[in-house]
């Protein structure tokens, strides 16, 4: 039986440095995943083929990262009922605000979830996909609880006073 998987797609090679953070987290949780470059405007036929075969390919969640006009998440969502998690890429000209507004402002009817701009968004999209998988998989659910415990433990009560050390060195 084929394993359920998360598919990570991005509009360009230049998006990889952001989206690789999503892949890292999915791999840490041993969730099957695949990664592809699919551009809504540069490779529209690839986009169509991908979206039409996604269900058959056991994809349960799609993480779609795009920058600028950022129509990839919405276009994919229009061609499949698989949930699409949109990650706005931090663009050069507008720091990703253009990508964010483009993805978040989907008109009524074809929804896409929208995450934070850039690295936090890529990581949170992976964690969100993991939450969805955790609904039906006890082991993933236990791992996610442990992950969150570690996150909590990593936050110290007292801040490190590094700035003081730096001042003393001057």
89 forms part of the interface with ligand RP5 (CB under 6 A): yes
CB under 6 A: which stretch of 44-52, 61-69, 124-132, 158-166 binds ligand RP5?
61-69
What the block records as the tokens of 154 is 């990593």
Among 19, 67, 85, 115, binds ligand RP5 (CB under 6 A): 67
90 forms part of the interface with ligand RP5 (CB under 6 A): no
In whole angstroms, the minimum distance from the beta carbon of 66 to ligand RP5 comes to 4
The answer to whether 13 touches 37, Cβ cutoff 8 Å, is yes
In whole angstroms, the minimum distance from the beta carbon of 15 to ligand RP5 comes to 5
CB under 6 A: which stretch of 10-18, 129-137, 146-154, 158-166 binds ligand RP5?
10-18
Residue 125: CB atoms within 10 A of its CB come to 30
The answer to whether 83 touches 62, Cβ cutoff 8 Å, is yes
Residues forming the site for ligand RP5 (CB under 6 A): 11-12, 14-15, 39, 66-68, 89
């Amino acid at each position: 039986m084929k394993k359920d998987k998360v598919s990570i797609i991005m509009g360009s090679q230049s998006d990889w440095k952001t989206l690789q953070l999503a892949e890292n987290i999915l791999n840490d949780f041993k969730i099957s995943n695949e990664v592809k470059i699919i551009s809504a405007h540069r490779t529209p036929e690839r986009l169509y083929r991908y979206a039409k075969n996604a269900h058959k390919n056991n994809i349960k969640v799609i993480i779609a990262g795009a920058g600028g006009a950022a129509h990839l998440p919405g276009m994919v969502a229009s061609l499949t009922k698989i949930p699409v998690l949109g990650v706005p890429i931090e663009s050069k000209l507008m720091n990703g605000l253009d990508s964010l507004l483009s993805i978040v402002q989907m008109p009524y009817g074809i929804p896409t979830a929208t995450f934070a701009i850039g690295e936090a968004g890529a990581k949170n999209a992976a964690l969100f996909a993991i939450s969805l998988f955790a609904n039906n998989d006890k082991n993933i659910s236990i791992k996610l609880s442990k992950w969150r415990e570690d996150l909590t433990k990593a936050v110290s009560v007292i801040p490190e006073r590094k700035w003081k050390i730096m001042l003393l060195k001057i």
